[in-house]
Structure 1
Amino acid sequence: MLDGELSEIVDNLRVIGADIADVEVKKALGGLPKSLRETISAFANTAGGIVILGLDEAQGFSATGLIDAAKLAADLGSMCSEDMEPPIRPLVKIHTFEGAQVLVAEIPELDPAQKPCYSRGAGITKGSYIRVGDGDRRLSAYEVQVMLSSRGQPREDEQGVPGVGLDNLDAAGVEALVARLRTSRPYAFKDLDRLAVLRRAKVLVPGDDGKDLVSLAGLLALGDYPQEHFPQLRVSFVHYPTGSGPTSSERFLDNVTLEGPIPVMVRDSLAAIRRNMSRRAVIAGAGRQDVWEYPETALREAVVNALVHRDLSPSARGTQVQIEMYPDRLVIRNAGGLFGPVTIDSLGEEGISSARNATLIKILEDVPLPGETRTVCENRGSGIRSMLDSLRAAGMSPPQFTDKISSFLVAFPNHTLLSEETISWIRSLGERGLTDGQCIALALLRDEGVLDNRTYRDATGVDSRVATGELQDLVARELIVQTGTRRWARYQLAQRHTSVKGRPARADRRPELLAALGDESLSRAELVARTGLSDQTVRRWLKIMRDEGAVELVGDSPKSIHVRYRRTRQEPLFGPESPPSPT
């Protein structure tokens, strides 16, 4: 880490006023803190992080320094290599920061095949931690088991179910699967008889006595009634009348249990959601149209993902997939967090997918939904992208994903971003030339208060470069303010735009800049210092004023950091009462 990066991190911490998810600060005046093993384990098991020793959080992250930084660095390296399992290899460096020595250790995230990282002295169950917010939380025994299962390909779905044979499967579904496999995958199945097809597809697996048993995957995909053997491998749907759950009087608006094989549970889950949804009006081009509260594609993908990617290990078979509908959101929850290399940040990215229940998903590629020709899943890693695309097309916020290792949750906010009232508010800002993405970002900020580059990309479908440029343009227009930089950058509405009532005042910065220039020629940095405006805002208004002929360049090209500006002799082309809207 460079000195400038350290300064940037500390500046962000001072703005936020507390540790953050990937940065932990300790004074460490008395040596390595005892809790440091927990933090190292938590960073290694989550997304990596940075430990800074020699700052005092209680005193605004002031640099208190270290008594013997070199010894502390050696002790930290020894702790990571000798006290942690597997050993951690951090990048450790001593910095001189604000006149004091501080120690910075960059803890890498472990590969899923090596997790969990734990303190050897405490053992794997009591010494494994995960980072939650700005703190370290001990993993439960089940969460440790889930991490251990990610070291390889889980095979629970391939296990034979004792006492379950072909007579426990839907005969028509079995025949349809066999016919489809012989047609769609002739190389593997064309010349096999019926039983051989089912064995190769792992619908049937050998039992301990060598006789065929139906696999758990086969039972869930094609069974007459899988819940006879696994009562909790089902879906519960509850519609609550309030946003906080059941009340003492009217507990539920609807409460149903959905059973059967996975294709039937998908169909019936969607029917239950649809039965409890209402329609709303949205803006579409020059008019309006009535649509369902949630797009069908997004719901189907979320329900399918919950059922096919859930943890099927014995410890998780007592937990059903849960669908909860509230007035302001729809929540779908399943046992088992993300599996393999997939992370919250990589969800929906092309080419990144992983299947906890590979055999189950493979079978369901060739099992249609009841009454449809479409199969349950495609196994192409496109489900999350389809979900995001359908929500974006409906003008809705992206879903909120939460990975808790032991469970995975997707929450759909129930609101349209660009309602008539929101569009009217955006128009009242008086800004011309905003992109569709920028309008969506303003609507998101108005509803949710804060966003980052990732949220912007999910909501708009643009890449990171375009997202950064459009966000910086909103900062330059003084519509939003930025806190933090680089990966810590967060954006909020400028205070003058947070009121939902009345017309917000627009800022015209030309008079300030012309007054600051006077009869001098100044650089952009000097104008920033004199006016107190952000660099983005000064840059934007200088371009506007150059186009109007109010200022001109002196010397270098406008891309040079040394370029200077001066007023022209002609009068500005705008008046003080009603300056034209910048584009």
Structure 2
Amino acid sequence: MLDSELAEIVENLRVLGADVADIEVKRAERKLPASVRETLSAFANTRGGVLILGLDEATGFAATGVQEAAKVAADLASWCSTEMEPPLRPLINVHSFEGVDLVVAEIAELEAAIKPCFYRGAGITQGSYVRVGDGDRKLSSYEVQMLLTKRGQPRDDLEPVPGTSVQDLDRRLVAELLARLRVSRPYAFSELDETTALRRARVLVQDGSGELVVSLGGLLALGTYPQEHFPQLMLSFVHYPTVDGADVVSGQRFLDNVMLEGPIPVIVRDTLAALRRNMSRRAVVIGAGRQDVWEYPETALREAIVNALVHRDLSSASRGAQVQVEMYPDRLVVRNPGGLYGPVTVDQLGDEAVSSARNSMLIQVLEDVPVPGGTRTVCENRGSGIRTMVKALREARMSAPEFVDRISYFSVTFPNHTLLGDEVVAWINSLGEHGLSDSQCVALALLRDGKLLDNQTYRAAAGLDSQVARAELRDLVARELVVQHGGRRWTRYALAPALVANTRTAGLGARRADRREQLLDILGDGQLSRAELVERSGLTAPAVTRWLRLMRKEGLVEVTEESIRSPHLRYRRSRQAFMEEREGPV
């Protein structure tokens, strides 16, 4: 890490006033705190991070320094090598910062195949940690098991279910499956009888004694009543009256509370029916008119429900937990046991060609089983569910979903919020900014709600690639609508302070100042570079660059001939600018 990068990190921490998920600071003036082991484990088990020794969070991240920094760095390297399992090999350096020495360690995330990393002295069940927010949290024994299962392909969906037979399968669903398989995969299934075809699809498997029984995945996909064998492998739906759950004043615990049972195709159908029963409609502007739509797009709900049911953990440790759908006045939450499986991370969700299936047999079967009452199969295109979900919300002008991966569970939260409603659109229009893209309007709406954006969250909300997202965010900074905090991987964007104050009062925006006259006054009769204009005006470099580009296009400034071939262009007023000044204000 460069000294300049460290300076940016510390500046960002001081602006935010707290640690962030991938940065941890500790005072550590004379020796390593014992809690360093927890942080090493947490970073290695999560997304990696940077450990800074010699900063004091309690005093606003003041640089208190590390005495005998070289020894502390050596001790840290020794801890990583001898006290952590598997051993860690972080990049450790001593930096001189604000007159003191800091020890900085960059810890990489471990590959899924060798997680969890733990402190040997405590053992794998007591010494394994994960990063949650800005803190380190000890993993439960179930979470440790979840990390261990990621070392290979889970086969829980192929587990034989004792005491079952083909008689436990729904005849209509079986007929639908086999009819589709014989058309879509004729080479493998067209000539097979029913029993042989079900064995090849691994709906039927042999138990320990050689008897043919139904697999767990087959039972969940095609069973007449899977809950007879696994009572909690179902879905619970609760509609709460307040944003906190039950209404403690009236004593009303819920508005609706149902348990959805049966095979997965039936659960999907019945859950969507329960949601429709509890959703209201809202009006949105579509083209030149208004259209009534559900509170939440059904396409997005369907994808979230299907993902939760087919990607849930099916290991014995989680069979007492059901998939949960919770509706509140301000949000809808879909939660399933077991976090993301395989190499997929929350940051990658929605990216094309990024997919990983925990229950591969179950998903393969459900690709050929329709939801009762329709022709669409439960799973249509593996890996496309999240993209479909986000697209449906974007088209409904709603906020992007929030994904949370906690090893033991995965959740999707849909805010009950029209991102670009009439009030927000009026506020954006009041800014007087021309040429904003639709995605930039989405960014302003998110920031107006008090959120901080980075490149990844903006990409997810607006459906952009990284380069376009970066260019659009920089343009918002240049327009002085947004301010940038930090740099490189720690860059965050917030609404400009003037706009924040304005949204809290009148609810409308404040037109951005016209900087033409200010910059022309600074230029005067002379010639200045962009850097000199930035220094003298107090504006940001992106803002000065934007105004110079506009004024060159308008003929108010020009580049001096002698600087055209120079990497440092110098600007001066044009003859037109002098003439307009004599005739009146610009």
State the TM-score bracket (shorter-chain normalisation). over 0.9
Q: Is the 8 A contact 2:430 2:511 kept in 1?
A: no
Distance 2:108 2:484 in 1: 28
Alignment-derived partner of residue 390 in structure 1: 392
522, 526, 536: which one aligns with 1:520: 526
Q: Is the 8 A contact 2:176 2:370 kept in 1?
A: no
Alignment-derived partner of residue 114 in structure 1: 114
Distance 2:254 2:27 in 1: 51
CA-CA distance at 1:575 after TM superposition:
8.6
2:564 aligned with 1:562: no
CA-CA distance at 1:348 after TM superposition:
0.8
Distance 2:142 2:39 in 1: 20
CA-CA distance at 1:569 after TM superposition:
4.3
Q: Provide TM-score, normalisation by structure 2.
A: 0.95
* Greater Cα offset, 567-576 or 66-75: 567-576
CA-CA distance at 1:411 after TM superposition:
0.5
CA-CA distance at 1:53 after TM superposition:
1.9
Distance 1:38 1:558 in 2: 57
Distance 2:578 2:263 in 1: 73
Alignment-derived partner of residue 75 in structure 1: 75
Alignment-derived partner of residue 94 in structure 2: 94
Q: 1:198 to 1:560 in 2, by over 3 A?
A: farther
CA-CA distance at 1:40 after TM superposition:
0.3
CA-CA distance at 1:38 after TM superposition:
0.4
Please give the secondary structure, in 2, of the residue aligned with 1:93. Answer: strand
Q: Is the 8 A contact 2:481 2:512 kept in 1?
A: no
Distance 2:560 2:359 in 1: 66
After superposition, residues 94-173 of structure 1 pair within 5 angstroms as 94-173=94-173
Alignment-derived partner of residue 472 in structure 1: 474
CA-CA distance at 1:380 after TM superposition:
2.2
CA-CA distance at 1:193 after TM superposition:
2.5
Alignment-derived partner of residue 229 in structure 2: 229
Alignment-derived partner of residue 39 in structure 2: 39
* Greater Cα offset, 534-543 or 511-520: 511-520
CA-CA distance at 1:57 after TM superposition:
2.9
CA-CA distance at 1:347 after TM superposition:
0.5
Alignment-derived partner of residue 542 in structure 1: 548
2:342 aligned with 1:345: no
Distance 2:393 2:280 in 1: 16
Q: Is the 8 A contact 1:556 1:562 kept in 2?
A: no
Q: Match for 1:527: what amino acid?
A: L
After superposition, residues 13-412 of structure 1 pair within 5 angstroms as 13-248=13-248, 249=250, 250-412=252-414
Q: Is the 8 A contact 1:54 1:66 kept in 2?
A: yes
Distance 1:399 1:556 in 2: 54
* Greater Cα offset, 304-313 or 3-12: 3-12
Q: Match for 1:421: what amino acid?
A: E
CA-CA distance at 1:207 after TM superposition:
1.1
Distance 2:438 2:411 in 1: 29
Distance 1:254 1:550 in 2: 66
User: Structure 2 regions of 5+ residues with no counterpart?
Assistant: none
Q: 1:575 to 1:331 in 2, by over 3 A?
A: farther
Distance 1:574 1:236 in 2: 71
CA-CA distance at 1:448 after TM superposition:
4.3
Q: 1:107 to 1:516 in 2, by over 3 A?
A: same
Q: Is the 8 A contact 1:309 1:357 kept in 2?
A: yes
Q: Is the 8 A contact 1:267 1:369 kept in 2?
A: yes
2:494 aligned with 1:488: no
Please give the secondary structure, in 2, of the residue aligned with 1:430. Answer: coil
Q: Is the 8 A contact 1:555 1:563 kept in 2?
A: no
Q: Is the 8 A contact 1:484 1:490 kept in 2?
A: yes
Distance 2:565 2:121 in 1: 57
* Greater Cα offset, 439-448 or 476-485: 439-448
Q: Match for 1:318: what amino acid?
A: G
Q: Is the 8 A contact 1:496 1:505 kept in 2?
A: no
Q: Is the 8 A contact 1:398 1:455 kept in 2?
A: no
Distance 2:579 2:253 in 1: 65
Q: Match for 2:316: what amino acid?
A: P
Alignment-derived partner of residue 529 in structure 1: 535
Q: 1:179 to 1:196 in 2, by over 3 A?
A: same
Alignment: residue pair count: 580
Q: Match for 1:294: what amino acid?
A: Y
Distance 1:21 1:527 in 2: 37
Distance 1:485 1:293 in 2: 38
Distance 1:452 1:338 in 2: 22
Q: Match for 1:230: what amino acid?
A: F
Distance 2:273 2:585 in 1: 55
Q: 1:312 to 1:271 in 2, by over 3 A?
A: same
Distance 2:451 2:207 in 1: 56
Q: Match for 1:90: what amino acid?
A: P
Distance 1:555 1:92 in 2: 50
CA-CA distance at 1:26 after TM superposition:
2.1
CA-CA distance at 1:394 after TM superposition:
1.3
Distance 1:425 1:353 in 2: 39
Alpha carbon RMSD of aligned pairs, Å? 2.1
* Greater Cα offset, 255-264 or 524-533: 524-533
What per-residue deviation string (whole Å, max 9, x for no partner) do you get for residues 10-57 of structure 1? 221222222211111223222222111100000000000011223333
What per-residue deviation string (whole Å, max 9, x for no partner) do you get for residues 266-318 of structure 1? 00011111111121111222332221111111111000000000111111111
CA-CA distance at 1:385 after TM superposition:
0.7
User: Structure 1 regions of 5+ residues with no counterpart?
Assistant: none
Distance 1:160 1:20 in 2: 45
429, 432, 438: which one aligns with 2:431: 429
What per-residue deviation string (whole Å, max 9, x for no partner) do you get for residues 61-99 of structure 1? 343333323222222221111111111111122223333
Please give the secondary structure, in 2, of the residue aligned with 1:270. Answer: helix
Distance 1:9 1:86 in 2: 28
Please give the secondary structure, in 1, of the residue aligned with 2:418. Answer: coil
Q: Match for 2:277: what amino acid?
A: R
Q: Is the 8 A contact 2:432 2:511 kept in 1?
A: no
Q: Is the 8 A contact 1:21 1:135 kept in 2?
A: yes
Distance 2:553 2:374 in 1: 60
Equivalent pairs: percent with the same residue? 66
Q: Is the 8 A contact 2:237 2:259 kept in 1?
A: yes
Distance 2:171 2:563 in 1: 77
Q: Match for 1:530: what amino acid?
A: R
Distance 2:361 2:133 in 1: 35
Distance 2:577 2:183 in 1: 79
Distance 1:319 1:213 in 2: 24
Q: Is the 8 A contact 2:131 2:137 kept in 1?
A: yes
Q: Is the 8 A contact 1:361 1:379 kept in 2?
A: no
Distance 1:517 1:383 in 2: 55
Distance 2:472 2:286 in 1: 23
